[in-house]
Copies of this chain bind each other. A is one copy, B any other.
C-alpha cells in the first residue's frame, strides 16, 4: 500500500530551472542543510524525503516578483507539485505550515513563490471542521431557502452599546436574518463586549417574542488571549446568543483551534490580513489553499467579498473563492456558508447568482446599502430580497425595479457603477 502523502502545489518563479528549484525546496524542507552530513542515511531519506511529483511550465514573467532579485528579469515560472510523506509531518497544522510553507519562502534564488493548493490525505478529516456550516446556519436563522440576508452595524467603530442596540432594533424591524459587529469591533473601552451583549440580546429576544423570528447576531469575540476569547464566547452563549465574528488571522491557528473545541457558537470568519498573503499574484498563498486550513479548523461562515467589492479584489478572484468554499474537502459537511459582502446592496445579485453556480446557499451582507437606503433600512433589506428574487427568476434588475420602488431607489442611489 502506498504511503499517505501531503501534496502541495507551488507556483515557483526563478531565474534558473524551475524543476531544479522544486527539487531544492523538497530537499530543504525535509533533510537538507548547507553541507553534507555524516548522519544523513538512505533510511532517513526514505522516511522523510519530500519528492517532486510534477512540474508544469508557465510562460516566463517580465519582472521578478521579489524586485531587485537576480538580473531583474525575465524569469521562469512553473507549477510544481511536491509530495511530503504524511508520516514525516502528521496532521498538526503547525507542522504542515512550518514544513510546507514557512521555510519555503526563505529559500535563496527564488524570485517569487506562491502556495496554490494543499491536497490533504484522509487523515486530516480528523480535524473538527465546521460545527454548523451551511445547514446549521439555515437552522439557526430559520431561513430554509434563499440567501440569508445580513447586515452589519455601521459606523463600524464608535457607537456606545445602547446606540448599537438601537440600530439592532431597527435592523430587526427591517427584516434581516443576521446582524454582525464590524470585524474591527471587539471589546474596546467605549463598548465592552459584556455591555454590548447586555444591550443587544434583549432586543433580539424581544423581536423573537413579538414576531417569532430569531435574528442571528454575531458578536466580535476575538482576542489574542484564548482564555479571554473563551470568556467572551461564554458571555455571548450564556446570554442566549448563537454566533460570533472571529478575526481568524489575528487570533491565529492556535486561537481558532482552541475556540472551536469549546465553541457553542456559529463562527463567522473575517479574513482581514489575508490580503497580505494573496494580493501579489506571484507571492504568498492562493485562497484555495488558505481556506482549507480554516475550514478544517472549524469556520462555519466565511467572508469572501463579492462582485464589485469596495476592496482591491477582482471579481474573478471572488468567484473562485466561492467555488472553493462550495467544494467539499472530505465531505459536504466541511463546507462553510459563503458570506458575500463588501459594497453589496443587491445590484450584484444577478451576476453573483449567475457566476457562482446558481446557488442560493449563501449569506448576502449589506452594510451601507441597507443603512444608507434613501427610504430607510427596511426598504434597503426589501430591495436586496427583490434583487435576489429577480436573480433566481432570470429577470433583470431594471425590469424588477419597475414594480418595486425599494429596488428602484437602490438602483438610483447605488447603481452608478453597476453597469
**Contacts from A to B (Cβ < 8 Å):** 29-40, 43-45, 47-49, 63, 65-69, 87-90, 92-95, 97-99, 101-103, 105-110, 154-159, 163, 167, 183-184, 186-190, 222-229, 247, 249-258, 261, 270, 272-273, 275-277, 279-285, 297, 310-313, 343, 367-369, 371-372, 414
Whether B253 lies near A103 (C-beta < 8 A) is no
Q: Which of B224, B257, B277, B414 contacts A224 (CB 8 A)?
A: B257
Name 10 A/B residue pairs within 8 A (Cβ), A-sorted. Answer: A33-B368, A37-B154, A37-B155, A37-B371, A39-B154, A69-B312, A90-B187, A98-B270, A102-B247, A279-B283
Whether B94 lies near A186 (C-beta < 8 A) is yes
Whether A222 lies near B94 (C-beta < 8 A) is yes
Shortest Cβ distance from A271 into B: residue: B102
Shortest Cβ distance from A39 into B: residue: B155
Whether A188 lies near B90 (C-beta < 8 A) is yes
Shortest Cβ distance from A225 into B: residue: B257
Question: Chain B contacts of A311 at CB under 8 A?
Answer: 106-108
Whether B158 lies near A30 (C-beta < 8 A) is yes
Question: Chain B contacts of A37 at CB under 8 A?
Answer: 154-155, 368, 371-372
Question: Chain B contacts of A284 at CB under 8 A?
Answer: 276
Whether B90 lies near A371 (C-beta < 8 A) is no
Whether B108 lies near A247 (C-beta < 8 A) is no
What would 19 more interface pairs be, CB under 8 Å, given A95-B250, A252-B252? A31-B156, A31-B157, A33-B371, A44-B158, A45-B158, A66-B312, A88-B157, A90-B186, A94-B229, A94-B250, A95-B186, A97-B224, A98-B183, A98-B222, A99-B184, A102-B183, A224-B254, A251-B252, A253-B254
Question: Chain B contacts of A188 at CB under 8 A?
Answer: 87-90, 95
Q: Which of B48, B108, B255, B313 contacts A310 (CB 8 A)?
A: B108
Whether A155 lies near B40 (C-beta < 8 A) is yes
Whether B101 lies near A273 (C-beta < 8 A) is yes
Which A-B residue pairs are the 9 nearest by beta carbons? A252-B252, A254-B255, A102-B272, A44-B158, A102-B273, A105-B275, A93-B224, A48-B158, A35-B368
Whether A226 lies near B257 (C-beta < 8 A) is yes
Question: Chain B contacts of A48 at CB under 8 A?
Answer: 157-158, 190
A33-B367, A94-B250, A183-B98 are contacts. A159–B276 as well, Cβ < 8 Å? no
Question: Chain B contacts of A110 at CB under 8 A?
Answer: 312
